[in-house]
Amino acid sequence: MNLRLFGEMQLRAAGQPLEVGAPRQQAVLAVLVVDAPRPVAIETLIDRVWDEAPPAEARNVLYSHLSRIRQLLGRAAVLEEAAAPRLERRHAGYVLKIDPDRVDLHRFRRLVDQGRDARSADADRARALAEALDLWAGSPLAAIPGEWAGQIRDSMHRLRCEAAVRWARVELRLGNPDAVIGVLPDLIAEYPLVEPLEALLLRALHATGRDAEAIERYAGARRRLADALGTDPGSELRDLHRMLLRGEPPQTPPPDPGAPTIRIATPAQLPPDVAGFTGREAELRELDRLVLAATGPAETVVISAIDGTAGIGKTTLALHWAHRVASQFRDGQLYVNLRGFDPTGSPVIPTEAVRGFLDAFEVPPERIPVGLDAQVGLYRSLLAGRRVLLVLDNARDAEQVRPLLPGAAGCVAVVTSRNQLAGLVAGTGAHPLTVRLPSVAEARDLLARRVGPERVTAEPEAVEDIITLCARLPLALSIVAARAAANPGFGLVVLAGELAGAQSRLDEFTGADPATNARTVFSWSYHQLSPAAARLFRLIGLHPGPDLAAPAAASLAGLPPGAARPVLAELTRAHLLSEPTPGRYTFHDLLRAYAREQAEGTDPEDERRAAVHRLLDHYLHSANTAVLVLEPTRDPVTLAAPGPGVTPERFADHRQALSWFTAEHAVLLAAIDQASSAGFDVHTWQLAWTLTTFLTRRGHWRDNVAVQRVALAAAERLAEPATRALVHHHLARAYYRQGRLDDAQSHLLRALDLAAQAGDLVVEAHSHVRLAMVWERREHFAEALDHARHAATLFQAAGHRPGQASALNDIGWYYAHLGDHRRALTFCERALAQHEELGNRLGQGITCDSLGYAHHHLGHHRQAIVYYCLALDRFRDLGDRQEEAATLTRLGETHLTDGDTDAARTAWRHAVAILDDLNRAEADRLRARLRELDQESKPTEVLPTATDRERGERR
């Protein structure tokens, strides 16, 4: 059976074509196939199939399509008389189980990956890339409408061009220019602006002595680029042209461009080792073999899949072993709790985990791509050539883990799960390791280490009773040991009696599964708590997770922070909570489920809702304080006063505020979902509002879109035009950062309508500012100027002075791009005076940069240099490296035009040093200019950089 996505979608089984249905059904099948074997949530399917306008009955229609797809796969199975793809419903969504090599798109990707492998022989790489190119039978998903399908088409066209360039380079190195000449002209006809293809064709023609034809092709390429882009060919094409004119001999093409070089940190994410670890010698020896395998002659990635029942000590084993061998992994250790069995039902999705790892390596947000595949590619590139240990804890299934696995030899990944990860073992060669219950002797050693060998020796029968009543489960034994250690005067026989009494009260809940029997120990230990600790334990079960800080726990319980700390300490001593990092608490998901169960059975609903209200108040007011520290000029929103018993956090400076957002990132996302599901609609949209600055600056584009969409649903329920306008505006801003300009424009137009209804001049003005940015990105500067003028008028009517100053600069900036540089100076000078009066240093820097740009184009080079230097002073004071690099780039252009090539080199070298961390394409562009400068020093027209298009986002 084969499924074709290139061109018209086709499904063939036993040589027969099968009807794949109407375009909508094809779209559903395509989403499942492209993401296979990852689960696809219902909401994701709806978004990708219907974009932003799903019908009211979208779910029912979707279920009908899924039913017909199952029938289609069933017919394929009958025809094949063998195993065929199947559609499965999982906790995280729908999964299509299909052999990737049966899908042309996946086979294409695999072959291109083989062609990228520089360790393979050139002949093997050429064969793989040629096979990949032969699979192309037309644009992918050709008959499927919608933005998602368009994005897939765009990415596959880019991948096709990359494959063609790599293939041609390899063939030329192999001495096969005729093969290149036979293929590239047709590809260039499809992609006339892809200069590397033209350059390789010129090399092939030159290698076969067809120099005149090559010179003619260069002239054609130059005309195309001038007509389409208004630019000359790049440095490689120009160098080849000069080589042809001089009659120089053919040269071997340069090697394939390597992966981007990113300066990365050495992560050390392992939680603390467990004190008093004992036993598990056989399992530790088995894990030790992994390190030997990772450094052996095979040089492979080594993966261990540790499985076992809940509470049996999988995480404890993995972390203890990881600490034992951490020193052998010089490039760092990564850890993530995937929360596969979290009772709140919110496991970590691969996108979150990969992004967390990229943050651990301190990859600048500007260098992190948007899509999961691209992020995984960057993550694996970082691991290549490095020795890193990964602990992937508490996985639900193999699909959750696969994107997180390294592709680099010498790395070791240890995965823990309650499930046997058979798919991981079969698909990746993982080493399975099932953790069994400890022996009676090992259980006795655990107790001896925790309570002291003398007590264990003195009361052997009580010890045996405790071991039996705990079903030898390490989690349960640890809790009992904690109580014994905290009460040295208690005989173990007393504790065993109490435990037996608790078990008799819970007989109906116990079973053969040791994890179920752990409920007895939980109940017994819970009933030993003080009333304050028992109440806090229950309330923490209502927290959305994955962890919480001490101040949040205090607000949850309505306690002063000082009163909450001893209660948290009591829960920690009882092993009902753990403190993996100072001041942050979590607990085992079995305990979380038990705590929630106790809260629902003990505390009235109004008290539980009041606790959740206090918690959301805590996060909202803390986040609001933090965001105004990060962005003091941001227009505030009006919050209701925090309820009684809520103590929001305070932040002394920018660093503290950013650290708080970083630590609470996952918690705040979960809190927004909890607020939405619990009907706290005002908290929902206001929490999303507070998160926008952090998510934007850290590059969490996907999270920002997700929270703003939840916020929009809440705002629609509130039916307040001003609120809806503001949320539409922020959702548009999130879409803009993802490059989804049509979506951004649609929501901005809606924001304008609603703001006008509400009489909110400020939101209306900001929406015009964003619309100007959308048109600027499309290089429609007249439209951008029109919106900037509207914004200035509205800001003035509202008396919003910071907005007025920024809008004046925007008007000047767009006049400059329309060629009216004198008028640009007039507006930008007014803007600068207002920014100086307001003390807005970022606004001053951006406006000085605009003034420098206008003076440059008027030939006032000395004035341009002065303004650029003033801008640099502001940006360096603020630590804004992105703006600094953009201004350095333009400063270099001005120095060059003024004839000072040494100063131009200096400015560009400083810019390259910054852009290597922020924007590799811009860094490479400047390197090429520096190389040209070494050959010929002539003034060139200053062009807008990619960073120019991001400037408005910083205002």
Q: Which CATH class is domain 531-603?
A: mainly alpha
Q: Across the chain, what does the average pLDDT equal?
A: 84
Residues whose CB is less than 8 angstroms from the CB of residue 503 and which lie 6 or more positions away in sequence, other chains included? 469, 510, 520, 524
The dotted CATH code for 836-955 is 1.25.40.10
The pLDDT value recorded for residue 298 is 39
* Out of 230-234, 452-456, 693-697, least confident range: 230-234
Other Cβ atoms within 10 Å of 872 Cβ, number: 21
Bigger pLDDT: 676 or 479?
676
- Compute the C-alpha angle 350/354/357, nearest 5°: 145
- pLDDT for the residue numbered 297: 40
Tokens for 773, please give them.
Answer: 């940015």
Q: Mean pLDDT over residues 386-398, rounded?
A: 87
Which pLDDT belongs to residue 192? Answer: 85
Where residue 509 falls among pLDDT bands split at 50, 70, 90?
A: very low
CATH number of the 281-434 domain: 3.40.50.300
Confidence of residue 78 (pLDDT cuts 50, 70, 90): confident
146/248 Cα distance (integer angstroms): 50
User: What pLDDT, in 10s, does the model give residues 228-249?
Assistant: 666 678 777 888 888 888 888 8
Average pLDDT value for residue range 210-230: 83
Q: Summarize pLDDT for 60-69 with one digit per residue, the tens.
A: 888 888 888 8
The pLDDT value recorded for residue 347 is: 83
Check: pTM over 0.75? Answer yes or no.
no
**Cβ contact 396:347 at 8 Å:** yes
Closest among 493, 427, 438, 489 to 464, alpha carbons compared? 493
791-800 average pLDDT score: 94
* More confidently predicted of 253 and 349: 349
Q: What contacts 368, CB < 8 A, 6 or more positions away? A: 355, 358, 375, 378, 699
Q: What would the pLDDT profile of 113-156 be if each residue is shown by its tens digit?
A: 888 777 778 888 899 999 999 999 888 888 888 878 887 887 78
Which run of H or E residues covers position 774?
A: helix 761-777
Q: What tokens were used for 532?
A: 């304050």
953 falls in which pLDDT band (50, 70, 90)?
Answer: very low
Q: What is the 3-state secondary structure (H, E, C) of 804-866?
A: HHHHHHHHHHHHHHCCCHHHHHHHHHHHHHHHHHHCCHHHHHHHHHHHHHHHHHCCCHHHHHH
260 pLDDT above the threshold of 60: no
> Would you call 88 helix, strand, or coil by DSSP?
strand
> Residue 84: its pLDDT value, please?
67
Question: What residues does each domain of the chain span?
Answer: 281-434, 440-526, 531-603, 836-955
pLDDT in tens, 525-549: 787 789 999 999 999 999 998 889 9
Work out the burial of residue 229: count CB atoms within 10 Å of its CB; fewer than 13 is exposed, 13-18 middle, 19 or more buried.
exposed
pLDDT at 946: 45
Q: State how far the Cα of 749 lies from the Cα of 764, in Å rounded to an integer.
A: 10
**What is the rounded average pLDDT of the residues 694-711?**
88
Question: d(Cα 451, Cα 458) in Å, to the nearest integer?
Answer: 12
Q: How far is CA 284 from the centre of its chain?
A: 33
pLDDT attached to residue 852: 96
Predicted confidence at residue 306, as pLDDT, reads 79
Taking residues 928-946, what's their average pLDDT?
62
Where is pLDDT greater, at 671 or 509?
A: 671
One-letter amino acid identity for 620?
L
Tokens 């908290």 locate to 683
Q: Give residue 295's pLDDT.
A: 57
Using only C-alpha atoms, what is the Rg of the chain?
31
In single-letter form, the type of residue at position 661 comes to F
CA distance 784 to 787: 5
pLDDT tier, 315 (very low <50, low <70, confident <90, very high otherwise): confident
Q: Which long-range CB contacts under 8 A does 94-97 form with residues at least 24 apart?
A: 94/32, 94/39, 94/40, 94/42, 94/45, 94/66, 95/32, 95/36, 95/37, 95/38, 95/39, 95/40, 95/399, 96/32, 96/33, 96/35, 96/36, 96/37, 97/36, 97/37
Amino acid code (one letter) for 185: P
DSSP string computed for 403-415:
GGS--STT-EEEE
Residue 747's pLDDT is what?
95
* CB neighbour list of residue 805: distance below 8 Å, 6 or more residues apart: 831, 834, 835, 838, 840, 843, 847
pLDDT for 507 equals 44
Give the burial string for 711-736 (b: 16+ CB within 10 Å, else e). bbebbeeeebbbbbbbbbbbbbbbbb
Contact (CB, 8 A) for 484 and 455 = yes
Average pLDDT value for residue range 677-690: 95
pLDDT tens, position by position, 729-746: 999 999 988 888 999 999
Instruction: Tell me if residue 124 falls in helix, strand or coil.
Output: helix
Task: Give the pLDDT confidence of 829-883 residue by residue, as tens digits.
Answer: 999 999 999 888 889 999 999 999 999 999 999 999 999 999 998 888 777 777 8
In Å, how far are 160, 215, 777, 952 from 739, measured between CA atoms?
22, 38, 9, 14
Q: What is the pLDDT of residue 286?
A: 83
Q: What phi and psi, each to the nearest 5 degrees, are found at residue 348?
A: -70, 125
CA dihedral 811, 814, 816, 818 (to 10 degrees): -130
